[in-house]
Amino acid sequence: MNKPLDSLVIADTAAQVGIGRPHESAHLHVAGAAPYVDDLPELAGTLHCALGLSPVAHGRLAGMTLDGLLSVPGVVTILTAADIPGVNDCGSIVHDDSILADGEVRYLGQPVFAVIARTREVARRVAARAKEALKIEPLPAVIDPLEAHQKAQYVLPPMHLVRGDARAAIERAPRRLTGTFEVGGQEQFYLEGQISYAIPRENDGMLVHCSTQHPSEMQHLVAHALGLHAHHVQVECRRMGGGFGGKESQSALFACVAAVAARKLGRPVKLRLDRDDDFLITGRRHCFRYAYEVGYDDDGRVLGAEVTMVSRAGHSADLSGPVMTRALCHFDNAYWLPDVAMHGYCAKTNTQSNTAFRGFGGPQGAIAIENILDSIARTLGKDALDVRRLNFYGQDQSTPYGQPVTDNVIRELVAELEATSDYRARREAVAAFNATSPVLKRGLALTPVKFGISFNVKHFNQAGALVHVYTDGSILVNHGGTEMGQGLNTKVAQVVAHELGVPFESVRVTATDTHKIANTSATAASTGSDLNGKAAQDAARQIRERLAECAAALFGAEASAVRFSGGMVNVAGRSLPFAELVTKAYHERVQLWSDGFYATPGLSWNRETLQGRPFYYFAYGAAVSEVLLDTLTGEWRLLRADVLHDVGRALNPAIDNGQVVGAFIQGMGWLTMEELVWHPQTGKLVTHAPSTYKIPTANDCPADFRVRLFDNTNAEDSIHRSKAVGEPPLLLPFSVFYALRDAVSAVGGHRVVPPLSAPATGEALLRAIEAVRGGA
């Protein structure tokens, strides 16, 4: 039976997985006692850093006059690219991203120099005077990704993913649809901004406390910048105040600058951005532009499709290549596309280098096919749900990149949601309301999700963990994942507690540390629990087996007969506390710690042909949204949302529900209100603060919000047969966007396909309404 949100009570049971349990740091969060990087006590002599930013979008750096800035009281030094002892690069994949600009500035907001001062206020005040210190000869700037596409200006070569003969299928089809569409980018807007605190250690060592999703990459890049080896650099992250992908690769610049300054001066250096600088320096979700042509039959079945996707990569490659790859691999979403041709272009623009954001290109890929199917349905006068269902994957079908869809539950899941949400009755009620309401219009939509889980790059799908059992029975765990509020440490602790048969409270998870777990992958791609949970399980299982062998030897039993549960160990008809057995095992010189390792099996990927099995499994979901739109003002409200999402056998249903709810609202913000605007001449991001960039608030949540977890078991051997929950639910609010499109369509009596783009801001909605009225 599916579990509604209000039924996820906290359970006190011997089983430690599959039950709702509070976040392990919840008591600290609510009390304001959870320390983040900026809360760490500053060591004596700590200096502060601020960055001087380019005031132009593109130009040649002809010189710098820094004497006036250096003379300001409190300023210790100013660093430029020439002060970097190692490599002036922090590119994640392609080495095309300088730490500090050298020779050329490529976007407005690019760091050119770093001011080191005794106080943060002085450093910021002096860095803000960058314009007077920099001599830059302006060069032509390209701000619009379509202009870059027209000039064939890309950060990476174009990508093409093809199955069959799309052109022939389109030409044979009885009906055709051509069109364009666009979705905007999205700022991560993590509550804790980018921050690094670098502390010099003995013998060229460097400790960096960094708010990052990828400590190992920070370790390597800092080492390269310092001209040292990886073993010289220790990166630690206890927790982040949000990440959402924005701290996967782009925390590197700040870690490197802080570390270079700390090494040069021999003193601790902290670099903490304010919100405006964070906006101006760092990248975000890629905006996408689409041009498509589709052939389909009279029922709405897609016969052939060709789509061109152009993303705004920004001035450097960063993670734009993998983002585009995932976008191409998710264009199919939940649908069988027999003949399809997809073309991806990562446009190079003189703007911030865009990067990872929850979904990592998957949402941008999937929304294109949703827009196509919604348009086909409106052209045919059919309910969009019926057209979507007609195109669902069936049995024994494969994705365009060659992966069989063997775990498909989308038909059952959508059928259940259609029934529990009263979709058909509400569709009739919406039509009846609209027929008598000339100004206020309601809209309704049901959209599905199929999302692949794994890194597209095979070697990232690995993880390590350490588990220590102390003689008092308490347990310490360290793993390679990072905690950013998503509950990863809670789930890993549950896994270890379950494996050793002890209460959850017996397990403590420590800060992610590159000196403990080496060569970790980023906590990204929704793989945190899958990878690190399995690694921790492996370590804990080795300890349990050693303890079982010890107990068997001590009490004359078979090791296979020893049972661990509820903090007790049952062996040979007797029961003893876990801690007592641990003490006995210590006296018997049994190893009470272990490392664990996990590598996701069965993955393959050819980056040249874009073929293989890049995903271990798929997560599924669907949502129904109903909106009320004021056609005179463009204002709207989400009246009700029904969500049914597949998380397999949930490790922690309470946390998983929270992830679904949060992703839904965050995705709704992306598609309806979060608008990024660059000045077309200067290239300045003008929406660089909360005053101009609007994210959802509690008031935007629907009063009637029904979230349920689909009753399903992962077909693959994931951790306790659970499924990832970080990214897939972000696609659920497609239903909000298409409900708004449905409401706009009602203005013209559903006779015109609304030209609505995302984000569907009030202005965008009014433009679409006017187009519908004009077309009708």
The residues carrying an active-site annotation are 727
DSSP state of 255: H
What is the distance between the alpha carbons of residues 164 and 749, in angstroms, rounded to a whole number? Answer: 38
Neighbouring residues of 163: CB distance < 8 A, sequence distance ≥ 6 = 337, 338, 339, 340, 341, 400
- Report the C-alpha gap between 285 and 330 in whole angstroms: 16
- CB within 8 A of 443, min separation 6: which ones? 430, 626, 627, 629, 738, 739, 740, 741, 742, 743, 744, 745, 746
DSSP character string of 127-152: HTTHHHHEEEEE------HHHHHHTT
Radius of gyration for the chain, computed over Cα atoms and rounded to the nearest angstrom? 27
Please name which of 386, 451, 381, 395 lies closest in space to residue 414, comparing C-alpha atoms.
386
**How many other C-beta atoms are found inside a 10 Å radius of the C-beta of residue 601?**
9
- Cis bond before residue 755 (omega within 30° of 0): no
Q: Specify whether the CB–CB gap between 118 and 50 falls below 8 A.
A: no
DSSP 3-29: EEGGG-PBP-SS--SSSB---TTHHHH
Question: Are the beta carbons of 262 and 268 closer than 8 angstroms?
Answer: yes
Which residues have CB under 8 Å from 173's CB, separation 6+? 295, 296, 297, 303, 304
Q: Find where tokens 């996701």 sit.
A: 600
Residues 6+ apart with CB under 8 A from 91: 97, 316, 317, 318
Q: For 681, how many CA atoms within 13 A lie in the half-sphere containing its CB?
A: 0
| Interior angle at CA 135, CA 129 and CA 138, nearest 5 | 115
CA quadruple 667, 669, 673, 678: dihedral, nearest 10: -70
**Among residues 338, 327, 328, which one has the least CA distance to residue 165?**
338
Residues 745-771: b if buried by 16+ CB within 10 A, e if exposed = bbbbebebbbbbbbbbbeebbbbbbeb
Tokens found for residue 725: 């929950």
Cα–Cα nearest to 710, from 417, 450, 449: 417
Count other Cβ atoms within 10 Å, centred on residue 394: 10
- Tell me the residue length of the chain: 776
